[in-house]
Amino acid sequence: MRPKVILSVLVCLAFLLSLGVAVKDAKADALMFPWVTKSDSVSTIISVVNTAGAPFGGVYQISGIPITLHYQYIYKNTTDYDPAKASTWLLTTCLENDFSRPTSMNDIVTFDASGKINGGKPMFDDTATGIDASLYADARFDIGDGVPGPRRAYLLVDNNNNFLHGVDNTLYGEAIVMEVNGGGAWGYIAYNASGGTGETQAVPLDFSDGNDLLGEVLNNMNTGSFGPIALEYAPVVLLNPNDAKTRFYVTPIDAGFNNTGSGGCSNDTSGPDQRKRNINTAFQFNTITQPDYRFVGGIYDNNEQPLSFTTPIQVVCTAAINLDLIIDAGVYVPWKNSGHQAWTYVSTLKGTVNQSPNDDCIDNGEMQAVIGKLEYTEAASAFQGQNVAGAVNNFIWLRNSGSIEGPGGVNMIMPIPIIDGI
């Protein structure tokens, strides 16, 4: 953050008019960090780059009004799995914490979302000077002391502003999830949906499928019986549990899909908005049957044998789910004992959770999610007989760009070529 420069209203208006864009028509940009973890041992290091603002050098205030980034944490009140809820992962909705912090053109800020490192304040000696120092250098960017760990969350960052602040593709972000006590880290690039958002920091944020140019969002795209041609699905490799643990990170995406519940009731009357706190999507592992090439629950082992089971997992808001809770125990135990590797297709299913028992409406039921796979060890281990001195952390964002590119896009693998009429 660079020193404040006070600009007059005339200079501000001249800048806006020079770009030929009316203030009321301004569009801005937004990022989604789908997986944020806070615990006694885990920090999530967030970096946000903003290229929007007035190109006058160090401007973070126009006519006394700060140019800001808006940070909104949507967080789960617990990370514990409740076995009593069977195949539904934490029915409870999320809570939220949001705030705005000053920014300027070509600014970068890095902070620990858990608040462990530097108390959640900007890292790497990033300080502001001048009148707004108290709004930035002494301010925290973390999820907050009032949100004790352990917690799982996702973070939304936007540069929507009543002034012309940013257009699409003016924000960039990276995350590092770091195991501070035992060592090891993994990370990802924040999801920047295409299309821009709006001119205020209260407008809905649309991260739904079709805005994901890199295939970040998986989407069933079929409300009835489904086959592989109708789906976005992601192939994924499964290491044997004897070699590494595997965990799936799932955050449902709101597309305004469930606009009408059963009996004509509706608990989701608005359009896509990732700011909602009770978005619900299910997912499942699948194999493809012969000869009709339709999905059925299961995995393939490395002898090409399908191991069948059906365990759809309902996720509300966000969750991280261990592999042994996704695969039926009757399949998981013998597969683990065999030492075999496996692979499967991951696909989303319609969310069917009703969080309000006094009505019969599904609450923000969707068919879209962002899903990542973490393979990890907690200490020194042996990997297929090879000793590994430290912890292993390997994270992969599961992608499919079928809604953008159609058949042949990112990860659109099929057991046979797609043929018309099949």
b/e per residue 247-281 (b: at least 16 CB within 10 A): bbbbbbbbbbbbeebeeeeebbeeebbbbbbbbbb
Question: For residue 142, what pLDDT band results from cuts at 50, 70 and 90?
Answer: very high
Residue 145: alpha-carbon gap to chain centroid: 23
What pLDDT score does 11 carry?
A: 37
DSSP code for 290 = T
What are 179-198's pLDDT values in tens digits?
888 778 999 999 999 876 66
> Within 13 Å, how many C-alpha atoms sit on residue 20's CB side?
0
CA distance 118 to 86: 39
What pLDDT score does 135 carry?
A: 53
CA distance 233 to 293: 14
pLDDT surpasses 70 at 203:
yes
In percent, the amount of the chain with pLDDT more than 90 equals: 39
What pLDDT score does 187 carry?
A: 96
Task: Give this prediction's pTM.
Answer: 0.86
- Options 2.60.290.11, 3.30.465.10, 1.10.1060.10, 2.60.40.2130; CATH for 1-203 is 2.60.290.11
> Quick one: residue 157, left, alpha or beta (phi over 0 = left, psi -120 to 50 = alpha)?
beta
**CA dihedral in degrees (336, 338, 341, 346; nearest 10)?**
-50
- CATH 2.60.290.11 residue spans of the chain: 1-203
Shortest CA distance to 44 belongs to which of 55, 52, 33, 54? Answer: 33
What pLDDT score does 266 carry?
A: 53
What pLDDT score does 169 carry?
A: 78
What pLDDT score does 54 carry?
A: 65
CA distance 412 to 405: 10
What are 221-279's pLDDT values in tens digits?
765 444 444 478 899 999 999 989 999 999 999 998 765 544 455 555 578 899 999 89
What pLDDT score does 103 carry?
A: 83
The helix (run of H) or strand (run of E) holding residue 397 is strand 393-398
What pLDDT score does 24 carry?
A: 37
What pLDDT score does 357 carry?
A: 59
Bridging pattern class, strands 88-89 and 313-316: parallel
pLDDT surpasses 50 at 9:
no
Q: Please compute the mean of the pLDDT values over residues 407-416 and round it to a whole number.
A: 71
Question: For residue 47, what pLDDT band results from cuts at 50, 70 and 90?
Answer: very high
3-state secondary structure of 48: strand
Residue pair 315/252 in contact by the 8 Å Cβ criterion: yes
What are 332-374's pLDDT values in tens digits?
999 999 999 999 999 999 888 877 655 666 778 889 999 999 9
